[in-house]
Amino acid sequence: MVKYSGGLMNQLNRITNCLSDMKDQNVLVLVVHGFKPDIFDNNTNSLSTVIDISATNHLLKQVGFPALAEKITSPLPRIKISSARYRPTLTGPTLHLMKLWKPSENAMRLAESRTPKRPFDTFGLRFGVDEINHYVCGIGGRDYFNLLDSDSDSLHRFESWASSTQGVATLNKHVDKALQCIDNHFDGSKPVYICTAVGKDARHASMEPYVEKIVAARPFLIWDKSAPDHRREVCAMVDVCVGIKAGKHECFPAGSTLNCFINTLRP
């Protein structure tokens, strides 16, 4: 049984590692206790919100892995698992299993209306407040996790830092690095759809001017600020569905498992 909260990829990676371990123990069915569709709240939904369980089980059966089943538990609390096997990080033996996940029909339908009608590329722009906090401003791990708690004042502290002289200078440098990354990968000959949390949730409002600056500097970029769904992880899966139809996919900063997931699922 798996019961775990986190972002889209942390949850899927945790389940993937459990599948690998359960296969070694000859377990036939892995029960997933729900899926958290938004890391910023405590609501629990079915994993089928983002994953086509039937299609995924078909692929799992072909390679001899346990089938997935669900038992919804709400709310879905954070739990501590000491075993390294169940950490939400994939390694060589399990990384290839990413390709077995099949996005839900709902996610693909939401992506269809956002997908450019002519050849395009995609770019993962990790400018959400949680991502900037983690990769750029260095406020600290505790505040990073507190950003997930709507009752904490971490978001206010982040916004105060972002509006400070130091914060603005740091973020402008980050914009320059993002533009350099874009120039390294794209020549502007076709549109590039931006995959980002910014614009889809008011929590990231302080980062919108910086994404606007990036888009204004490179007119071939497409930034759809409308939210396909109000839940963070569903929006992430919609970006995945757009990304797998692109000619190529890159991201900034590098190292995102979501972007690795997109590239794994691409033909």
Instruction: For the chain, give the percent of residues with pLDDT over 70.
Output: 84
The bridge status of strand 192-195 relative to strand 121-125 is parallel
Question: What DSSP letter does each residue of 193-250 carry, written as one string?
Answer: EEE-STTSSGGGGGGHHHHHHHHHH-TTEE---S-SSSSHHHHHHHHHHHHTTSS-EE
Tell me which H or E stretch contains 162.
Answer: helix 154-163
Domain boundaries of the chain, sorted by first residue: 8-102, 109-265
Top mean-pLDDT range of 2-11, 12-21, 22-31, 233-242: 233-242
Report yes or no: 242 and 124 within 8 Å, Cβ to Cβ.
Answer: no
- Residue 114 DSSP class: T
Residue 93's contacts (CB-CB under 8 Å, 6 or more residues apart) are 20
Q: Say yes or no to pLDDT of 2 above 50.
A: no
Which position has the higher pLDDT, 254 or 108?
Answer: 108
Report yes or no: 123 and 193 within 8 Å, Cβ to Cβ.
Answer: yes
Distance, in Å, from the CA atom of 99 to the CA atom of 237, rounded to the nearest integer, reads 14
The pLDDT confidence band at residue 113, using thresholds 50, 70 and 90, is very high
Q: Identify the pLDDT of residue 93.
A: 61
Using one digit for the tens of pLDDT, what is the confidence trace for 157-171?
Answer: 888 888 999 889 999
Report yes or no: 18 and 79 within 8 Å, Cβ to Cβ.
Answer: no
In this structure, of 7-16, 108-117, 140-149, the range with the lowest mean pLDDT score is 140-149
Q: Identify the pLDDT of residue 138.
A: 56
Using one digit for the tens of pLDDT, what is the confidence trace for 40-79?
Answer: 887 888 999 999 999 999 999 999 999 999 887 665 444 4
Q: Say yes or no to pLDDT of 140 above 50.
A: no
In this structure, of 60-69, 111-120, 140-149, 245-254, the range with the lowest mean pLDDT score is 140-149
Q: Identify the pLDDT of residue 77.
A: 45
Q: What are phi and psi of 266, to 5 degrees?
A: -65, 145
Q: What is the pTM of this model?
A: 0.88
Using one digit for the tens of pLDDT, what is the confidence trace for 175-225?
Answer: 999 999 999 999 999 999 999 999 998 889 999 999 999 999 999 999 999
Which position has the higher pLDDT, 243 or 131?
Answer: 243
Map residue 172 onto helix, strand or coil. Answer: helix
